[in-house]
Amino acid sequence: MADALQQQQRYLAQLLEAVQRCAYFLNHSESRMEWPLRGIDLAAKRKDASLFEALAAINERFAKLQDTLAAVMRHTALLMGEQPQSFLQILSFFEKLGVLESSERWQQGRIVRNMAAHEYETDYDAIAEHFNTLVSLTPLLNETARHLINRIDQDLDISPATDDFKEEFARIFDK
């Protein structure tokens, strides 16, 4: 039984490291662009593969960070003895703990990132708005990640599996 608990704790530590890694790469990708984006500029560069590859990376990295944070929250809730029936209950639990600023803003981020995954937009103003919205929501994900990592360390004495991204993750908040 203790071995099963240790496996779950190791898995959570690995997820925490993944959160730091995801945040680092998302913030790196965003820092290479000039914000806010404008539709007219995107239209003028509509054949710039490097630009649109960079935007695709931002979209993917935002989604990956949000998904990884969700996995951490689910796993943490279980290790804390919570028995949530839905992810909304998990969000509410972490909002009450002060880890998550707002369940509503979290859901807004989820909707925005899902829209890009399912729509193939050709309106460059809409594309610019999408990415500007993602970038405006990135601090929410970063803060959630920081609060979540701190809370898990405090309550469960579990920290990221390695220190590989510790410094880079900390630098995100120095800006």
Query: How many domains are contained in the chain?
Result: 1
pLDDT at 1 over 70: no
Q: Which domain holds residue 37?
A: 2-172
**Whether the Cβ atoms of residue 62 and residue 68 lie closer than 8 Å to each other:** no
* Residues near 67 by beta carbon (within 8 Å), at least 6 away in sequence: none
CA 139 – CA 141 distance, rounded (Å): 5
pLDDT at 119 over 60: no
Exposed (0-12), middle (13-18) or buried (19+): which is 134, by Cβ within 10 Å? Answer: buried
Question: What is the percentage of the chain residues whose pLDDT exceeds 70?
Answer: 95
Where residue 122 falls among pLDDT bands split at 50, 70, 90? confident
CA 63 to chain centroid, in Å, comes to 7
Mean pLDDT throughout 161-167? 98
Residue of 159, 140, 143 lying closest to 17 (CA atoms): 159
**Whether the Cβ atoms of residue 106 and residue 65 lie closer than 8 Å to each other:** no
Predicted TM-score of the model (pTM) = 0.94
**What does pLDDT average to over the chain?**
93
**Whether the Cβ atoms of residue 107 and residue 31 lie closer than 8 Å to each other:** no
Which pLDDT does position 112 carry in this prediction? 87
pLDDT digits (tens, 9 = 90+) for 44-82: 999 999 999 999 999 999 999 999 999 999 999 999 999
Query: DSSP of 40-103, one letter per residue?
Result: HHHHHTTT-HHHHHHHHHHHHHHHHHHHHHHHHHHHHHHHTT---SSHHHHHHHHHHTTS-S-H
Which pLDDT does position 117 carry in this prediction? 56
**Whether the Cβ atoms of residue 42 and residue 127 lie closer than 8 Å to each other:** yes
Which pLDDT does position 115 carry in this prediction? 77
Token code pair at residue 75? 């796993």
CA 110 – CA 141 distance, rounded (Å): 11
